[in-house]
Structure 1
Amino acid sequence: MKKLAAPLLAFTLAFTSTTAFAGGPVVVEEEPVVEAASPRSGWIVPFVVGLILICAVACGNDDDDNGGG
């Protein structure tokens, strides 16, 4: 078994070491981080929603039910 193990180990190391370094070094480039700019019109949506709520409260319900028919 020892006569077979030594040549097998040498053979395995010879072929795996050459394939491990094939192709040269791998260069990893970092991509730049892109940040979104803050929206300038961030006040428009709350303003419009506020106007709608104020109108809904101020207008109220115009359906007067006098109980008669």
Structure 2
Amino acid sequence: MKKLALAAVLSVAATGAFAGGTPAPAMEPATIASDTSSSAGGVLVPVLALILLAAAASN
């Protein structure tokens, strides 16, 4: 009977020790830097639009 009572006390003590669980690992967010590859970034679309409008107007 003493062994059963000791086992019960130890099991209650063990569950209290692990009640919190392990904390989730904290990860820092990755920083992504993007570079533009062309120097004429905002000019290309309007030039193409003008070419399309000129081609449509000539028909």
TM-score by length of 2: 0.44
In terms of Rg, which structure is larger?
1
TM-score by length of 1: 0.41
